[in-house]
Amino acid sequence: MTYPATTTASKTVLITGASSGIGEATARRLAASGHRMVLGARRVERLAALAKEIEADGGSALPHTLDVTDPLSMRSFVQAARDQYGRVDVLVNNAGVMPLSRLDALRTEEWDRMIDVNLRGVLHGIAAVLPTMQAQGAGHIVNIASVSGLRVDPTAAVYSATKHAVRALSEGLRQESRNLRVTVISPGLTRSELTDTIGDQDTKDAVTGQMAIAIPAAAIGEAIHYAITQPAEVDVNEIVVRPTAQG
């Protein structure tokens, strides 16, 4: 049997939460393969520095301020990509927060923040790119979930709920689409700044202790690269990437 070769065509790729961690690593990996990057995050100075490095290495990158909890901000982000590059091929919904805690700690503002960023942010991204992708007759949405979307652990109930929801949302979108590809990437313990969002000190100490086995964010960028470079008729629906030593 002969399988179609992976595509090397340059794509316009939008990444949310691109200023650090998985978003930054993915931007570097995809830019190195010749894709045009549109980088979104709140920390514009870090985005600008990343874009400058990418362009110094011969790549193409447009930094743009972005708050995924604001639908208008997300639409502006997508419009900037269209204005600069004329199309939107891939959206990587990567922005996320993970302020883990036990439910009886009643850190309700953190619950709301996770729902706003991890779930509503993904919905805002989908809503912003769908009209363009449908008009193009093609597009690819990559949603970053988590192994916490496959299981539930103490202190992670709300975080897991948002990631389970991202997986359900992605599957619904996939079933509704015929020209649109949808991929869920579920990372395990990965080195990033997510642990910095944990406000409960006992939980933060416990998670920090587990990070000795964490894999680099570049491993997730590699998985995203694999998914988006498959032939148009191949939709990689889900990839789980975690440390070999993770239980």
Average pLDDT over residues 65-87: 98
pLDDT at 2: 46
* Residue 118 clears pLDDT 80, i.e. is over it: yes
Average pLDDT over residues 140-156: 97
- The SS3 of residue 41 is strand
H helix or E strand, kind and range, residue 151: none
With contact defined as beta carbons under 8 Å apart, do 190 and 220 qualify?
A: yes
Rounded to two decimals, what is the model's pTM?
0.93
Q: H-type helices in the chain, by residue range? A: 21-32, 44-56, 71-85, 108-114, 121-136, 157-176, 201-210, 217-228
Average pLDDT over residues 222-245: 97
Query: Which amino acids are annotated catalytic?
Result: 159
